[in-house]
Amino acid sequence: MSNVIIKLENVSWAYARSHNWALENISITIEEGECIALMGENGAGKTTFCRLLNGLIPHSLPGKLMGAVTIDGILTADSTVARLAGKVGMTFEDPETQLFTASAADEVAFALENMLLPPDEIKEKVRWALDMTGLSDYADRAPATLSGGQKQRLVIAAALAMATKVLVLDEPCSQLDPTGAREVLSLIRELRTRTGLTVVMATGSGEEAADFADTIIVLKNGNLAAFDTPPRIFADQRLLADCGIPAPQVCDFARCMTALGRPLPQFPATLDEAEKAALAWYKGIA
C-alpha cells in the first residue's frame, strides 16, 4: 500500500515586497520512496519549491503562503524548521556556501550536535553518512581540500545524517565538472536503492532527470506545467519548447526515426530504453 510523504494543496507563495507569486496554486502528491526531478527555466520556481519542503518557507523567509504543505503528516506551517530537519535533509546549489568546519566528520556532526543528540548517536550517524557517500577515508580531511564532487557528496552526507524521510537536492551538479557530476549522480542512484528515502532533485539536465527520476515536475513561471513520467515529458515537444527544457539526446534519435517513417515501438528517455526500443524495432522488421 502506497504512503503519501509529500502533499501540496493549492500552494501559492510570494516573497516579501514582490507583487508576483513565485509559486501559484500548486497541488501535488508524492509517495514515499519516489524519486522526483524538478525542472523548469531559471526563475520558474524550482528553488522556492525546494524551500517549501524543509520549512524554510514560511518560517525563515518573509512572504505570503497560501494553501497547505504536508510532509509525512506534518503541516509545515504549524511545525518548526528544527522539527522538519529531522525528516527533510536539503542541499543547495553551491556546496562552498555550506561548508565551514575543520573536517568532513565535523561538517556532518554540526547539525546533529545542535539538535542535542547523544554523542554516541551522533558518532554513529556521522560514520553511517560518510560511509553511504563514500567519504569514510576523508573523515579527518578539511573540506577545502576536497574536490568539487567530494564537497557536494559531503553536503549530501550532512543532509543524509539529518533526514529520515526526504532528501531535497537543489541542482547538485550545476557547479561541477563532468567527473564531479558523474560522482554525485552515481551517489544519488545508490542512495535511492540503499536508503528508501524520497528524493526530490532540481536539475536543468534532461539526461539527469531521465536517468534518475520516476516522475518529473515541470514548472513555468511559478505554475505547474506538467507532472508525469520522463518518457511522456520528453516526448512532448511543445511542452519542452514552452518551458525551456532540454531533452536527452536519445530523444532526438527517436524523433529522427519517426521522421524517417520508422518510429520506435516506445519513446525512450534513457540510453538503456533507446537500446531496448531499437532492438525491439529491429526484431519487428527482421
Q: What is the pLDDT of residue 174?
A: 81
Q: What is the pLDDT of residue 237?
A: 93
Q: Answer whether residue 282 shows pLDDT above 90.
A: no
Q: What is the pLDDT of residue 143?
A: 92
Say which residue the cell 531499437 belongs to: 278
pLDDT tens digits for range 26-73? 999 999 999 999 999 999 999 999 999 999 999 999 999 999 999 999
pLDDT tens digits for range 257-280? 889 998 988 899 998 998 998 888
Strands 74-75 and 215-220: unpaired
Task: Identify the band that residue 191 occupies on the pLDDT scale cut at 50, 70 and 90.
Answer: confident
Q: Answer whether residue 250 shows pLDDT above 70.
A: yes
Tell me the C-alpha distance between 19 and 24, whole Å.
12
Q: What is the pLDDT of residue 82?
A: 85
Tell me the C-alpha distance between 235 and 138, whole Å.
43
Q: 259-263, long-range: CB within 8 Å, 24+ apart, which pairs?
A: none
Cut 0.85: pTM above it: yes
Q: Answer whether residue 76 shows pLDDT above 70.
A: yes
Other C-beta atoms lying within 10 Å of the C-beta of residue 124? 13
Task: For the chain, give the percent of residues with pLDDT over 70.
Answer: 99
Q: Which residues contact 275 (CB under 8 A, 6 or more apart)?
A: none
pLDDT tens digits for range 91-142? 988 877 878 888 999 999 998 888 888 999 999 999 999 999 999 999 999 9
Q: Answer whether residue 11 shows pLDDT above 60.
A: yes
Q: What is the 3-state secondary structure (H, E, C) of 193-250?
A: HHHCCEEEEECCCHHHHHHHCCEEEEEECCEEEEEECHHHHHHCHHHHHHHCCCCCHH
Instruction: Report which of residues 178 and 118 the model is more confident about.
Output: 118
C-alpha cell read off for 220? 513555468
Tell me the C-alpha distance between 246 and 243, whole Å.
9
Task: Identify the band that residue 164 occupies on the pLDDT scale cut at 50, 70 and 90.
Answer: confident
Q: Answer whether residue 286 shows pLDDT above 50.
A: no
Average pLDDT over residues 166-175: 89
Q: Answer whether residue 1 shows pLDDT above 70.
A: no
Q: What is the pLDDT of residue 2?
A: 65
Helix (H, G, I), strand (E, B) or coil at 191: helix
Q: What is the pLDDT of residue 193?
A: 82
Could you tell me how far CA 39 lies from the centroid of its own chain?
Answer: 10
First to last CA, the chain: 43
